[in-house]
Structure 1
Amino acid sequence: MKPESSSALVPSDQRNPVYQISTLQALVMGNFYGCLEVQDLLTHGNTGLGTFDAVDGELVVIDGHCYRIVKGGKAIEARPHDTTPFASVAFLDEETNDSLRFDALTSIDALRHALDEYLENRGPNNMYVMRVDGYFHFVAARTELRQQEPFKPFAEVLQTDEDRFRFNSIHGTLVCFYFPKYLDGVNTPGWHFHFIDDARKVGGHVFDLHLVSGRAIINKTDRFVLDLPHNRAFQEAALDQASKDEIRQIEQGAGD
């Protein structure tokens, strides 16, 4: 039997990657030390998500600007020298990517189902970055409060310092990343959603939603760039011992 034919890869300098600083395992285990400045993160992408030094709020990158989500869901534009211990970004533009329209998706599971159907034709083993601009009946979200050393595991942070809130009847954008299952631990497998409103005043990590209508722009990428921290906490961590349950808890939160 003849081997399946394949075309040569496009040179890497012509393919926009997903860029990531650190790994989710490190964050799970309490490595909250900022190791990359926001101004440097933004050279790698105009769309993204993550957190800040000492997990001082959720991080949202949209249209080339970086925002910190603080208590109550308030969004504040980050300063250039603010740092992140963990974030993923990519370049996303309307001209070179797919677009989809959504109507009446009444839960985050319904959105995931619609996106999984999209993946059936496009391939689940690549990475995807997406934004969904639309009108939401509600968005249920969270952020975290700043931690003090010695840092405890992220799951314990969620038990004591997770701040949840809900936005009703709001126009805004979901920033979404998809990572395949084989990257479990490097990042969250499946779809991960952050939200920010059109006025860039509120946002957070999304648990649930009701999308009335929206339009998505999606970029499929076959290239992943991972930078590792140089701090001692990363070098000495037994990252293979990071709990998969705790990794899932970062996505689902303490209350789910």
Structure 2
Amino acid sequence: MNKNKRQAIYQISTLQALAGGNYYGASTMKQLLAHGDTGLGTFAGVAGELIVIDGYCYRVLGDGSAVEADPAEKTPFATVTFLRPKEPMHLGHQATINDLQDVLTQEVKARGFNDVYIVRLDGRFRRVSARTELEQQEPYKPFAKVLETDERRFTFENIDGSLIGIYIPDYLNGVNTSGWHSHFISADRSKGGHVFGLEMEEGTVIFNKADRFIMDMPHNKQFERGNLTASEDEIKQIEQGTE
């Protein structure tokens, strides 16, 4: 890859559209991988969390297990990039996800906090708290309502794996989640989910900073004519899930 080439982060649809219940598949896994080998998202019908790593797409099922997705499966919302090799940064023990995010945010501030970042963190975790969702059927209800009934949570202990994290600056809030949003997959690719809590023993992280943000809008009437606003509370619930 040309080292001087600008790095793009590619996104399908917006978080507002997903929050409102637009779960119609807008791109296949094969099409998604043409734009990046690392990222996260969800599947059509919000049928599980999506993790893209090393050029493969994985779906997290209701029991927390992960399976490789078929290239023809579709996504209504995803964000990916081609991860460029960088000098990894070593991190020591992080007691909580907030502690980890504080460390990562300090690095973002030093690099430029108005840019978009995708990071890959490989580490050893004492605990990862994660979630996924069960597949929905039409008529689709808002995502916050899905989480009230069809969110599934699980905890993995003493596990090696990778976090794929995205940092979105505040001015893009709603287009995606401002701040940090992370998905986990185990080193053996057998389990994972959307992360809302963790304790990490140690790890290494690679930062990829993007100076291009490309978004493909879905071609469906729900997107073209729907309400694409979501309250801060709705977005927070989508990120944190149910209590």
TM-score (norm 2): 0.97
> Deviation digits for residues 123-175 of structure 1, max 9, x if unmatched?
11000010000100010000000001000000000000000000000000000
> Deviation digits for residues 178-202 of structure 1, max 9, x if unmatched?
0100000000000111000010000
Distance in 1 of aligned mates of 2:221 and 2:99: 42
Aligned to 1:253: 241
Distance in 2 of aligned mates of 1:120 and 1:141: 27
Distance in 2 of aligned mates of 1:98 and 1:251: 29
Unmatched tracts of structure 1, length 5 or more: 1-10
Corresponding residue pairs, total: 241
How far has the Cα of 1:100 moved from its partner? Answer: 1.1
How far has the Cα of 1:18 moved from its partner? Answer: 0.4
Aligned to 1:158: 147
Distance in 2 of aligned mates of 1:236 and 1:119: 36
How far has the Cα of 1:16 moved from its partner? Answer: 2.1
Alignment RMSD, CA only? 1.2
Counterpart residue identity of residue 78, structure 2: A
**Range 110-119 or range 58-67, more displaced:** 110-119
User: Could you list the runs of 4 or more consecutive aligned residues of structure 1 that deviate by over 3 angstroms after TM superposition?
Assistant: none
> Deviation digits for residues 203-239 of structure 1, max 9, x if unmatched?
0000100010100011111100000001111011121
Counterpart residue identity of residue 77, structure 1: E
Structure with max Cα Rg: 1
Aligned to 1:212: 201
Q: Does 1:31 align with 2:22?
A: yes
> Deviation digits for residues 66-120 of structure 1, max 9, x if unmatched?
00001111101000100000000001132xx352111110100000110111122
Residues 54 and 147 of structure 1 are in contact (CA less than 8 Å); yes or no, is this contact kept in structure 2?
Answer: yes
Q: Does 1:191 align with 2:180?
A: yes
Aligned to 1:127: 116
Residues 7 and 209 of structure 2 are in contact (CA less than 8 Å); yes or no, is this contact kept in structure 1?
Answer: no
Counterpart residue identity of residue 253, structure 1: G
Unmatched tracts of structure 2, length 5 or more: none
TM-score (norm 1): 0.92
